[in-house]
Chain A
Amino acid sequence: MEITFDEYFAYQHHAARLPADLAQGRDAVRHPVVIAGGGPTGLALALGLANYGIPVVVLEADDTVCSGSRAGAFTRRTLEILERLGVIDEVMRTGHGWTTGWTYRGDKEVFRFEMPDDANQKYPPAISHLQNYIEHCMVDAAAGRQGLIDIRWQTRVTHLQQGEGGARLDVETPLGGYAIDADWVVACDGGRSTVRDLLGLRMEGRRHEGRYVIIDIRIDTEGMPLGRRCWFDPPSKPGGTLLMYKKPGNMLRFDYQLRDDDDETEETRPERVFAQVDRHLRMLGVERPWKPVWMSLYRASALTLDSYLHGRVLFAGDAAHLVPIFGVRGMNSAIDDTHNLAWKLAFVQKGLAGRSLLESYSSERVHAARENHRFASKGAEFMAPPSAPFRLMRDAVLSLCERHPWITSLMNPRQHAAIPLYDSPLNAGSDDTAAFDAGPRPGDILRECPLQREGRPAFLTDLLGPCFTAFFFSDDGRVPAPLAAACEAIAHRVPFALQVIARRATAHEAAAVDATGRLFSLYGARPGSLYLVRPDGHVMGRWLTADADALSRAIDQVVAIPEEACHV
């Protein structure tokens, strides 16, 4: 159930189009990567692959971005990835950063939490935005990628056949159908994935974790606080839980759970939902005219495929897994999927690595989906207690939190953060890693930190690119000859950059400068230490004293190409 009352902004509608090179009902060009689905997952993957120079075709059934807004909160990790994809400026310009969450019992505030934030950060811990506006930014960015991204609108996948070294898709458009051949197909076609159905795959887990009504309205939001506002048992909805977020463009998002015995058809009648919004606004003393924009009934499930790699077909985002609503893990985890996959698929496509690298995408992201389920389920259990005893204990926590602040840790909404990949097969098993007394471990993402680059303020993550990055910590920016030689040799084989961090302001000009020593201490580094970072920003290995051979071996184990996988 989904009703669109109005556009969030003026959507661009795109015409259907047949490939220029159509021969006997077949696209004559064989494509390295075809992405099924032009939502946020497919578009993010396309932009990610374009960063490595891999051309992609994106097949999208609709003629424009998603009409409903759906995802509304985006976390710092997502913002870091959107920067890599070249859309961050417009997203930050138009989104609302927020750091605070308010919890009310009845109509009384009982708890206020601050999202993890500190002076080292480049981005706020979260922003409130519209999924479809971010899609719109991605479509714009795709047009600027030197013809690498070919989005085919109004193109629907109807059939898929896997063969030796590739797959063939049959597609339909209003102008007629055709077949298209690809080395790899990536299913980014959402929760009701056609590709998943065509392969006869089923997600497993818990199917129904509650039903939620979501509605976005347009209203003058001047003076309303930014952030997550959550009411337990409010006078506007006795016994229920209701969330409200301020969104960009004078909009508010509401969502609330239906009780098990609520009749779905009755509860999702627009008049009924509007009356709930009215009751809540009245409770807040807000008397301003408003208009509905979009509403939907959302069924929360905790489901995942057990593998995201099936022959020549990969899965990402909602096509691969579904997560319950609380904790903003849907689109955020989808973007994380694509960031993990883009470099691996690019490396395999370029013949730099074998299939096992794609297997690591599957194992790492299936693990992340299960972790997301675990955290989201905890959040959901608090927000919407699954049984009377859960509710009894939850209410006990709520009634104590004002006078006993220690108990508020049980109320933490556990919002999305990057899932660490401590068991990744790609992590370099350096014994030295335990010798650090601080800093991210292999599997963690980088911790942000300001530094100076070419005499200007910058951030550590500014030094990342579409490549492996080795951060060498030094006193004066000089690199020992054996390490420099090893790095040069690696850079001949794979995309790789050595970034030198120096403590002294007078260091060699190519080095980034950590004059305050903040980065050194945050990373537990001393002059001579080395961190190796994957192209997706996860730490892969670290050495208190850099070891050129160990660095080469760490890269080798990622790009090792088994014999049978040499030809891709």
Chain B
Amino acid sequence: MSEQELDEVYTRLCYALTEVGEAQTPAVLARLTLLLMKQVDDAGAIHGAIDSALEAASA
């Protein structure tokens, strides 16, 4: 994935979440997380990503 592509998917997600509204955002992100977990298919990598996400939350 190029920087350009990353930017595109990131922006699309932001627009899509704005479209569904704040109330539905957690549900969509939860579904997206589950689908990406399957795509990544690597428990170690997912544990690492969860740790990183939690670090950011406590920072």
- Please give the residue numbers on chain A whose beta carbons come within 8 Å of chain B beta carbons, in ascending order: 392-393, 395-397, 399-400, 404, 406-407
Interface size range of chain B in the complex: under 10
Cβ contact within 8 Å between A399 and B27: yes
Q: Min CB distance, B55 to chain A, in Å?
A: 18
Interface: B6 (CB within 8 A): no
14 contacts between A and B (CB under 8 A): A392-B30, A393-B30, A393-B34, A395-B27, A396-B27, A396-B31, A396-B33, A396-B34, A397-B34, A399-B27, A400-B35, A404-B35, A404-B38, A406-B38
Q: Min CB distance, B59 to chain A, in Å?
A: 20
Cβ contact within 8 Å between B35 and A392: no
Chain A residue at minimum C-beta to C-beta distance from B37: A407
Q: Which residues of B are found within 8 Å of A400, using beta-carbon distances?
A: 31, 34-35
Q: Which residues of B are found within 8 Å of A399, using beta-carbon distances?
A: 27, 31
Q: Which residues of A are found within 8 Å of B38, using beta-carbon distances?
A: 404, 406-407
Q: Which residues of A are found within 8 Å of B34, using beta-carbon distances?
A: 393, 396-397, 400, 407
Expressed in whole angstroms, the Cα–Cα distance for A393 and B37 within the complex equals 13
The total number of A-B Cβ pairs within 8 Å is 23
Expressed in whole angstroms, the Cα–Cα distance for A182 and B6 within the complex equals 76
Contact with A along B17-45 (1 / 0, CB 8 A): 00000000011001101110010000000
Chain B residue at minimum C-beta to C-beta distance from A406: B38
Q: A399-B31, A400-B31, A407-B38 known; 19 other A-B pairs, CB under 8 Å? A: A392-B26, A392-B27, A392-B30, A393-B30, A393-B34, A395-B27, A396-B27, A396-B30, A396-B31, A396-B33, A396-B34, A397-B34, A399-B27, A400-B34, A400-B35, A404-B35, A404-B38, A406-B38, A407-B34
Q: Min CB distance, B45 to chain A, in Å?
A: 18
Expressed in whole angstroms, the Cα–Cα distance for A397 and B38 within the complex equals 12
Q: Which residues of A are found within 8 Å of B26, using beta-carbon distances?
A: 392
Chain A residue at minimum C-beta to C-beta distance from B34: A396
Expressed in whole angstroms, the Cα–Cα distance for A399 and B33 within the complex equals 13
A-B residue pairs, 10 tightest by C-beta = A396-B30, A396-B31, A392-B30, A393-B30, A392-B26, A396-B34, A400-B31, A400-B34, A396-B27, A406-B38
Chain A residue at minimum C-beta to C-beta distance from B28: A396
Expressed in whole angstroms, the Cα–Cα distance for A392 and B31 within the complex equals 9
Q: Which residues of B are found within 8 Å of A406, using beta-carbon distances?
A: 38
Expressed in whole angstroms, the Cα–Cα distance for A393 and B31 within the complex equals 8
Q: Which residues of A are found within 8 Å of B35, using beta-carbon distances?
A: 400, 404
Chain B residue at minimum C-beta to C-beta distance from A399: B31
Q: Min CB distance, B23 to chain A, in Å?
A: 12
Expressed in whole angstroms, the Cα–Cα distance for A393 and B28 within the complex equals 10
Q: Min CB distance, B21 to chain A, in Å?
A: 16
Most buried by B among A396, A400, A406: A396
Expressed in whole angstroms, the Cα–Cα distance for A396 and B36 within the complex equals 13
Q: Min CB distance, B38 to chain A, in Å?
A: 6
Most buried by A among B26, B30, B35, B38: B30
Expressed in whole angstroms, the Cα–Cα distance for A406 and B38 within the complex equals 9
Most buried by A among B26, B27, B31, B38: B31
Q: Which residues of A are found within 8 Å of B30, using beta-carbon distances?
A: 392-393, 395-396
Q: Min CB distance, A406 to chain B, in Å?
A: 6
Expressed in whole angstroms, the Cα–Cα distance for A404 and B31 within the complex equals 11
Chain A residue at minimum C-beta to C-beta distance from B26: A392
Q: Min CB distance, B12 to chain A, in Å?
A: 20
Expressed in whole angstroms, the Cα–Cα distance for A249 and B31 within the complex equals 43
Expressed in whole angstroms, the Cα–Cα distance for A396 and B30 within the complex equals 6
Q: Which residues of A are found within 8 Å of B33, using beta-carbon distances?
A: 396
Chain B residue at minimum C-beta to C-beta distance from A407: B34
Most buried by A among B26, B34, B38: B34
Expressed in whole angstroms, the Cα–Cα distance for A406 and B31 within the complex equals 14
Expressed in whole angstroms, the Cα–Cα distance for A397 and B34 within the complex equals 8
Expressed in whole angstroms, the Cα–Cα distance for A400 and B27 within the complex equals 11
Expressed in whole angstroms, the Cα–Cα distance for A392 and B27 within the complex equals 6
Chain A residue at minimum C-beta to C-beta distance from B38: A406
Q: Which residues of A are found within 8 Å of B27, using beta-carbon distances?
A: 392, 395-396, 399
Expressed in whole angstroms, the Cα–Cα distance for A400 and B35 within the complex equals 9
Expressed in whole angstroms, the Cα–Cα distance for A508 and B33 within the complex equals 62
Q: Min CB distance, A162 to chain B, in Å?
A: 50
Q: Min CB distance, A410 to chain B, in Å?
A: 8
Q: Which residues of B are found within 8 Å of A392, using beta-carbon distances?
A: 26-27, 30
Q: Min CB distance, B54 to chain A, in Å?
A: 13
Expressed in whole angstroms, the Cα–Cα distance for A253 and B26 within the complex equals 35
Expressed in whole angstroms, the Cα–Cα distance for A404 and B32 within the complex equals 12
Q: Which residues of B are found within 8 Å of A397, using beta-carbon distances?
A: 34
Q: Which residues of B are found within 8 Å of A404, using beta-carbon distances?
A: 35, 38
Q: Min CB distance, B51 to chain A, in Å?
A: 17
